[in-house]
Structures are given as structure tokens and as C-alpha cells.
Structure 1
Amino acid sequence: MNYRTLIILIMCIAAVAIAGCTSTQTGVTKSAVSPAPVSADLGGAQSVYSTNEGVSSSGRSVMIPVPTTGGGLPGQGTDTKIIRTADVSLEVSNVTGAVAVIQGIATTAGGYVSTTSIGTDYNNRPTGTVMIRIPAAGFDSALSGVQTIGKVTSISTQGQDVTAEYVDVQAQITAYQNQIAQYNLIMKNATKIDDVLAIQQQIDTVQTNLDRVTGRMKYLNSQIDYSTITVSLHEPEPVGGTQGHDFVAAINDGIAGFFGVIDAIIVFVISILPLIIIGGIAYGGYRYWKRKRPAEPKTGTPEQK
């Protein structure tokens, strides 16, 4: 093997090696930039995104953001979210006055009165219901203040842990916001009307879902930040019965009874009127028959005559 042959052999080996390296590098690059197809619902609640290639109605490729499942355990980095409520039943001397006191307790605690109703029960005793919303931090002190208004006949408190739902809704909001941001970026690069319409339709769908979960988040925050206390009020039964003697009521009852008797007599007379008519006809017939009957001859002893 001469010198020239050796040089040619070395150049061939180098060319083969360079070609192999270039092929390997190209394959790795394509694998890195080509997104793995992910099957996921665009309306799902996720927080991490990849991209997937779709085809618009015009045949042009469009990169569509697809949500993927995010890692992490629910509740990490999130405080416990508790919805606290209480139901209290009180016996008070004056329902109207107690309602005013409860309203004062709510205002002092930085809360407000949600609903108020005052009425009477079947015994005409005053009753009332008041629902107040109190900042969560002042829930215990407000509840203690309510119990001092009257005699507690029943009380119950509830604490609903909504941490998992809160984290889930939070993740959904982040996911939908990221989706809308991705679609807006795609919209800027769209040049065909069909592509713009297709992307806008996706944006509208995601925006609807975002509005829904945002409303749910507002509701949860309202229930968590402000606890609810519902107070039912009633007055005690008076001594000697629910009502005292009422002279006017007695007169009214007597008049009502009198007219009741008159009504009963009228109903009775009308009911037996057919019998009276039949009886009258029968009696008249009998009298008529008796008058028309020939008189019987009188018989007896001479002494009797």
C-alpha cells in the first residue's frame, strides 16, 4: 500500500464517520422538537401544556395547545380551606328586640345581615329567623355573643373542608388562562380567515369554561372568608295558655254560634220539607175521608136515651 492509497483510505473512513454523526444528530433533533401526541380534553383542569399539530379547514397546519396532567399533590402550598356554618335556636322574651341585637353583633364583627324574617307560629306566638355573615376570624366570638341573647334550645356547627376542590378550581383557572394565552399567540401568526375562525372558536370555548370556574372560585372565597350563622327565634308560651280572656272575642264567638244555629235550623227545615208536604197531604186526605164517611146510628138502652 503506497502513500496515496493510504491517504484515500483515511479520507473515506472520515467521510463515513461524519455522515453517521450527522444522521444521528438530525434524528435526535427531530425527536426533541416533535411533540408527542397527547389525547386530552381541552376543557380539562390541568396546569402544564404541550403542543400538538392540527390541520385547519384550509389545510394549513396549526399548533394547538393541549393540556397535559401536571404533577404535584393536591393541597401542597395551599392553606386549609374551611367553610364554617352554625344553626342556633333561641327562646327570647322579645323577638323584634333580639333581631336588632343580632344585627348589632354582625355589624360589630365586621359582617352583615343576609336575611331577616319575622312572623307568628300556629299559636300566634312571634317567631323570627336571622342569617348573618361573619368574617371567619370572628366566627367563634360572634357565635358566643348570639348565645347570650336568650335561652339556647338547640345549636349545631359545621365545618366543611373544601381544600381539595379549591386547589382543583385554582388549577383549572391557571390551565384555561394558559390556553387562552397560547391561542392568542397562534392568532397573531394566523394569515387565513379559516384559521382565524377556527382559533377564535377554540378561544370562545375556553373562555366560557374559564368564566365558569372563576365564578366557582368567587363563591368558594365568599363562603370561606365569611362564615354563616342562622338564628331561629321564638318567644316562650305565656302562663295560663297561649291567650288570655278576651271579652270581645267571646261576644264574637256567641254571635257566630247564634248564626250557626239559625243556619242549622234552615238546613234542617229544608231537608225535611218534602216529608212535611207529604204528611200534610196525607193528613188532609184523612180529614176529608172522615167527613164524607156516613155517620153511624147511635144504639143504647132507654135509660141511656
Structure 2
Amino acid sequence: MDGRTGRRRGALLAAGTLTAALALAGCSAGDSGSADSAGPAGPAGPAGPAAEAPAMDRAADKGSGAEAAGTAGAGAPDLRVDQRSIIYTGSMRVQVTDVDAAAREVSAVVTRAGGFIGGDLRRSAEADAVAELQLRVPAAKFSAVVEEVAKLGRQQSREINTQDVTEETVDLEARIITQRARVDSARRLLARANSIADLVSLENELGRREADLASLEAKKRRLADLTALSTITVALAGPAAKTSEEKTETGFLVGFKGGWKAFTTSMTILLTVVGALLPWVVALGVPLAVLLLALRRRRRSPAQAAEVSAPPPVPAARSAP
């Protein structure tokens, strides 16, 4: 019995020793892990709201990134052809019989499509009149408006351009979300400011962030306007209006006509200049000519008097042979 009792006591003692060793090892590991997570201790210093701004920004960036990732995971943006952000621009030239009537018809077409006239430039004449109209129409009605305008006369040229800004729009929206989070963090820090220095610094930082946010939102509104309303530049030309694509005629008669036109134009300009200078010549030249004539007569009078008063020359005596 004594031997069995001794063995039991030895086993219990060994088990207790092993348990104590494991407990000590666990406590030391927990202490080292907490120390690592806390990080090395730095020099003590004032940690105000202004010093917390970078940490708040990192938290805001992580939050906005997580929000964007969650949004993308929950429902990625639909990038089908009919859901993409595309800017449509076009220009066309149509020859019509009556420019003013065609311009009124174009205005009616744009109004029916839900758009408006953004610009109107006209050169009035009988046969070579030209009207340049800038149309802003909804993107969904772009093709229909182009076809209706082309039917008003004889289409001379057409150019259609597209620009896909889907990726730029998505990136801009993500930047706006991040910037809004940065503005909110700056406002929270400003509400906790407890010194004049922190207050001034945070107010300047908040103003800068709000300005950046306003700039991003303005870019977004500009892209939304360009994608929602397409731009069409329409040139309505009269029957005698010439286009830049017409071929230049050559030959003797063409050269003679061009030279005669240049000659008549030059003579017209010359006669215009002479007609403009003639009143000045009459007003200044006649008195000047009279003055010069009077001065010339005055110079001649003393000379003639001297010739009359001078004695006749005495002939020289002839010498004896």
C-alpha cells in the first residue's frame, strides 16, 4: 500500500508541475502579443484633434473603399451598351431653298425632341445665305433628329463622333464618395477642437477639402450634361452658297475673270482713297499754292527793280592800232 501511495503522489505532483508550466507559457505569450499589438511606445506629446486627422483620413479611406467594394459586390455597375455613358457630337451641312424657313423647321424639330437651340449665327442674303445652328437634344433622340434635319434639303456633309466616358464617370463617383468621407471626418475633428491653433488648422483643411469636393461634383455635372444632351452643329446653306469642298476651276477664262475682278477691285479701292483725300487736297492745297505764288512774286519784284536802276554798262575803249 505504501508503494502504491507513493506512485500516486508522484503522478499527481508531475501533473501539477506540467499544468503550472503550461499556464505560465500562455500568460507570457499573451503579454507579448498585447505588447506587439500596442506597438512601441513613443515620446509623449500632445495628441489633439489636428494630430488625429491622418488617422481619421485613413479610416475614412478604408471605409469608403469597403463601401465601394460592398457596392461592387452587391451589384456591379451595368456596363451594357445601352447603359454606358457616351457623349454624342455631330456636324452636318444641308443645302436648302429658303434658309430662314429651314431654320424655323429645325427649331421645331428640336423642340419636339425635348431639346433647345444653343447657338444661332446667320448671314442674311438672297441666294447665298447661311445659318449655323447649335442643337442640344437628348441622347436618345440624337439619330432621329439628325435624320429629320437631313430631310429638309440636300445633305452635303455629315460627321458623327462618339466618346465613351463610362470609366471616367465611375472613377469620378468613387472619388466623390472618398472626398465626402474626408470632409465629414474634418468636420468631426473641427467640432472637437479645443485650441485656437487646432481650430485654424482644421478650418483651413476643411475649406480645402470642400473645394476639392465641389470641383469633383462640378466635373460630374458637366459629364452628366454632355451625356444627357448631345450637340449637333447644323449649317443651312442657300442655293448659291459655296462649300469649301468645291473644286477650284482653272483655265484662261477663269484666270482672266479673276484678274479682271482683282483689277476692278483695286481701281475701286484706289478711287475710294482718292475721293477720301480730295477734300483735304482742296482745303489745304489751294491756300498753300496761293501762298507759294505770292512769295515767288515778292522775290521777283526786288530783282526787277535792281535791274531797272542799274546804269548801262560802259563799253571798253578801243586801243589804237
Distance 1:287 1:25 in 2: 138
Secondary structure of the structure 1 residue equivalent to 2:17: helix
The aligned counterpart of 1:163 is 166
Q: Distance in 1 between matches of 2:38 and 2:169?
A: 35
Aligned-partner Cα distance in 1 for 2:127–2:279: 31
> What corresponds to 1:84 in structure 2?
88
* In the alignment, structure 1 residue 8 sits paired with structure 2 residue 13: yes
The answer as to whether partners of 2:128 and 2:238 remain within 8 angstroms in 1 is yes
Q: Unaligned stretches of 5+ in structure 1?
A: 36-53, 239-253, 297-305
Q: State the Cα distance separating 1:137 from its structure 2 match.
A: 1.2
Residue 139 (structure 2) aligns with: 136
Q: Which residue of 1 aligns with 2:149?
A: 146
Identity value in percent: 18
TM-score, structure 1 normalization: 0.63
Secondary structure of the 1:77 match is coil
Once the two structures are superposed, the pairs formed by residues 6-155 of structure 1 within 5 Å of their partners are: 6-24=11-29, 55-56=47-48, 64-66=56-58, 67=61, 77-79=77-79, 80-119=84-123, 126-155=129-158
More strand by share: 1
2:167 matched to 1:175?
no
TM-score (norm 2): 0.60
Q: C-alpha distance in 1, partners of 2:132/2:50?
A: 63
Give the match for residue 50 of structure 1: none
SS in 2 for 1:117: strand
Q: Would you say the 8 A contact 2:88–2:160 is kept in 1? A: yes
Rate the CA distance shift 1:108–1:278 in 2: closer, same or farther, 3 A. Answer: same
The corresponding residue for 1:193 is 194
Stretch of structure 1 that moved more, 264-273 or 207-216: 264-273
SS in 1 for 2:119: strand
- 1:245-275: CA deviation from partner (whole Å, max 9, x where unpaired): xxxxxxxxx9998786454334443554554
**Alpha carbons of 1:194 and 1:266: their partners in 2 closer, same or farther (altered >3 Å)?**
closer
Cα distance in structure 2, aligned partners of 1:107 and 1:89: 20
1:90 CA drift (Å): 4.0
Contact 1:85–1:157 (CA under 8 A) maintained in structure 2: yes
- Report the CA distance shift for 1:17/1:205 in structure 2 as closer, same or farther (over 3 A): farther
* Change in 2 beyond 3 A, CA 1:292/1:182: closer
TM-align CA RMSD: 4.6
Match of 1:213 among 205, 212, 216: 216
Conservation of the 8 A alpha-carbon contact between 1:55 and 1:61: no
State whether structure 2 residue 268 is matched by structure 1 residue 265.
no
Q: Letter of the 1:111 partner, please give it.
A: G
> What is the Cα deviation at residue 136 of structure 1?
0.7
Unaligned 5+ segments in structure 2 are 1-5, 40-45, 242-270, 314-321
Shift in Å, 1:4: 2.7
Gap change, CA 1:208 and 1:294, over 3 Å in 2 = closer
Letter of the aligned partner of 2:145 in structure 1? A
More helix per residue: 2
The one-letter code matched in structure 1 to 2:104 is: A
1:109 CA displacement: 1.3
